Amino acid sequence: MRVIVRLAYILTIFILIDLTATIYWIAQGLAHEANPLMGFFLESSPLLFVIAKLGLSGVGIGILCFFRKRFPVIIFKVMLGLNVIYCGVVVYHIWGLLFLLLTTN
């Protein structure tokens, strides 16, 4: 069960990196939000986007952590899957940053 909690912490860090990078890319006019639900919040207000992202993510992680003792194998697999997905998202942000740095003067 400690592994699940560690995965929750790592997932939280990935979500914060994604949130920060997304706000940066959009503020610079270099990207748009791919998630239609989050895009709605972002079009309304960047602050609403941040609140929604942190709120929805926090509730989701909280639910998974709440059920970690009852369904440890399932919750572990879900947490691992979410970490893999968000790791890919973070790598994508890093790739974009490197591309931007290497193609501009």
| Cα dihedral across residues 98, 99, 104, 105: positive or negative | positive
Distance between CA 1 and CA 60 in Å, rounded?
Answer: 17
Query: What is the pLDDT, as a whole number, of residue 105?
Result: 67
78: Cβ contacts below 8 Å, ≥ 6 apart: 64
The answer to whether the beta carbons of residues 92 and 22 sit under 8 Å apart is: no
Q: Please report, in tens digits, the pLDDT of each residue of the chain (105 residues total).
A: 799 999 999 999 999 999 999 999 999 998 889 899 999 999 999 999 999 999 999 999 999 999 999 999 999 999 999 999 999 999 999 999 999 899 986
> Rg of the chain's alpha carbons, rounded to an integer?
15
| Rounded Cα gap, residues 54 and 73, in angstroms | 25
Q: Helix/strand/coil (H, E, C) string of 65-90?
A: HHCCCCCHHHHHHHHHHHHHHHHHHH
pLDDT at 104: 81
Please give the pLDDT value at position 1: 77
